[in-house]
Amino acid sequence: MSSSQPALDRAPEPARFDALSVCSIALAVVALHIATNGRYGFHRDELQFLSDARHLDWGFVSYPPFTPFVEHIGLAVFGLSMIGLRMFSVLAQAMVVIVAGYMARDLGGGRVAQTATALAVALSPLPLFSGTEFQYTSFDFLWWVLAAWCVLRLLTTENPRWWLAIGLALGIGLETKYSIVFFIAGILLGLLLTPARRHLRSGWFWAGVGLALLIFLPNLVWLIHHDFISYRFLQHIHMRDVAEGRADGFLRGQILYGANLFSVPVWIVGLIVFFRSARYRTLAWMAVLPVAIFYVSKGRFYYVAPVYPMLLAMGSTAAERWLVQLPALARRILPPVYFAGVLACGAYLSALLVPVASSGPLRAFALQHNGDLREEIGWNELVRKVAAIRDSLPADQQAHLGITTGNYGEYGAIDVLGPAYHLPTPIGTTNSEWLRGYPTPPPTTLIVLGLDANDANSIFTGCRLAGHNGNSEGVRNEESKYHPDIFICGPPRKPVADLWKEHRDFG
């Protein structure tokens, strides 16, 4: 390479990793979530993951097996501790912060660039939210960021062995959330459209592809065995999201929620610099293609949030280089102003997304504006109510009792929290619950959740209202608003086998 070539087209000069600053930010993330994750209760999505963790398989209708497998370990280690079970998500976000700092270092960024990257990533919406619950998005975010870092290392060092690390990250990503295939498409397009296409001839590239496929193979076999039911599930969820307007405002969401709002100019600069760099242009396509695909296909805005850490790393590094050319006064003023802005946005996001208060105005603000927090309230009360209804029944009815549920939150609550009250395993038809079937012999008395009176009477015989599903705090969420009634019913009107064929539900 000639000396006149732009600096970013040459391999950056080695920089020292600022472990104190970056790791301090990561530890602050861990401390914030440990201090707050024991409030409220489990989210309805968490209850589904926990229920599936009690019924391990190589795949589930609504997602690959990685997250339930992690929570299976968590249940064995922590029991039903919210702080313990959510610790895996917290550590994943801490790792994202550290890897983002490493990306800035590998691009030649010094202390300011590394700290700016780590802080902006830590105080962005999805990383902040992902530490509050265990969901596949928590781990999916990590695999995207790790894969991006490994690609960056490949392009920086020209060491083809990095393809094994890339394959490892993408393989585990495929076992976590299927949407990572669009990031893989971005990597391939970035290779084809840039000088990095030479790596396609490397045996290490194909070794990485083979490793990713080997890791994904068990879930692929499960998908084949189950007629690719997950694809039909994703189609259903996508049509629902579009119909309900959940995919609206995709591009606006990239600006407002893709990363910390105060860092928007920085990641835009990062994208521009990536495109201008012959060495790193692959990473620009890795960001642009997933965004374009989800925009055209009407995906939800947060699906592509994992592309922003690499853009922030490059933008922060470019800004640091530009900063040294400014007068001394500007060099002293601009970094504190930027950090203050990022912190201010992060404080607002924390009040909105993190259960920072157990009472008072901050709690009221969070519950008013954050539907996910509202979905964490009332599950223990529901299980206690069902147990009380069970206890009110005659002994002969209790002996042949079943509990049917109308959604995965209700199923997960009874399945995960119910054993403390000696409740039977629930009966459900949503997602992977359907695969577990109906008990033999069928129960003759049923406590029915999640249905209104008309639906309950159309499916079961002899239904009567037995109680109400709500919460003592008066919080309006899906359960209290849409599923307020609990019924006691007799057996189904149709044979169970026929009923099961008619009620394979997605949610």
Final residue of a domain: which of 353, 371, 405?
353
96, burial (CB in 10 Å: exposed 0-12, middle 13-18, buried 19+): buried
Residue 363 lies in a domain: no
Report which DSSP code applies to 59: -
Whether the CB-CB separation of 89 and 139 falls below 8 Å is answered with: yes
Segment 115-139 shows an average pLDDT of 96
Whether the CB-CB separation of 85 and 130 falls below 8 Å is answered with: no
Q: To the nearest whole percent, how much of the chain has pLDDT over 70?
A: 98
Q: Identify the domain containing residue 423 by its residue range.
A: 379-502
298 and 405 in a common domain: no
215 and 302 in a common domain: yes
Residue 359 lies in a domain: no
Q: What is the pLDDT of residues 70-88, one digit of tens each?
A: 999 999 999 999 999 999 9
The span from the CA of 427 to the CA of 433, in Å, is 7
Q: What is the pLDDT of residues 177-195, one digit of tens each?
A: 999 999 999 999 999 999 9
Asked if residue 129 has pLDDT above 80, the reply is yes
Band (pLDDT 50/70/90 cuts) for residue 3 is: very low
Amino acid at site 272? I
Residue 5 lies in a domain: no
264 and 133 in a common domain: yes
Final residue of a domain: which of 309, 337, 353?
353
Final residue of a domain: which of 353, 371, 400?
353
Residue 422 lies in a domain: yes
Residue 368 lies in a domain: no
281 and 405 in a common domain: no
464 and 339 in a common domain: no
Segment 361-380 shows an average pLDDT of 94
**pLDDT confidence of residue 14:** 66
443 and 400 in a common domain: yes
**pLDDT confidence of residue 189:** 97
Q: Are strands 485-489 and 464-468 parallel, antiparallel or unpaired?
A: antiparallel
**pLDDT confidence of residue 470:** 84
Asked if residue 8 has pLDDT above 80, the reply is no
Segment 365-377 shows an average pLDDT of 94
Segment 403-409 shows an average pLDDT of 96
Q: Which of 110, 105, 118 lies closest to 156 in space, CA to CA?
A: 105
Per the structure, the count of domains in the chain is 2
432 and 314 in a common domain: no
Asked if residue 7 has pLDDT above 80, the reply is no
Residues whose CB falls within 8 Å of the CB of residue 5, separated by 6 or more in sequence, listed in order: none
273 and 223 in a common domain: yes
**pLDDT confidence of residue 472:** 86
Whether the CB-CB separation of 136 and 67 falls below 8 Å is answered with: yes
Q: What is the pLDDT of residues 93-115, one digit of tens each?
A: 999 999 999 999 999 999 999 99
213 and 322 in a common domain: yes
Whether the CB-CB separation of 402 and 490 falls below 8 Å is answered with: no
Band (pLDDT 50/70/90 cuts) for residue 9 is: low
**pLDDT confidence of residue 15:** 78
- Comparing 1-10, 58-67, 124-133, which segment has the lowest mean pLDDT? 1-10
Residue 492 lies in a domain: yes
Give the torsion sign (CA, 243, 245, 250, 254): negative
Q: To the nearest whole percent, how much of the chain has pLDDT over 90?
A: 91
477, burial (CB in 10 Å: exposed 0-12, middle 13-18, buried 19+): buried
Asked if residue 69 has pLDDT above 70, the reply is yes
Residue 365 lies in a domain: no
317 and 403 in a common domain: no
Residue 409 lies in a domain: yes
Average pLDDT, the chain: 94
Whether the CB-CB separation of 401 and 424 falls below 8 Å is answered with: yes
Q: Which pTM was predicted? A: 0.94
158 and 210 in a common domain: yes
79 and 211 in a common domain: yes
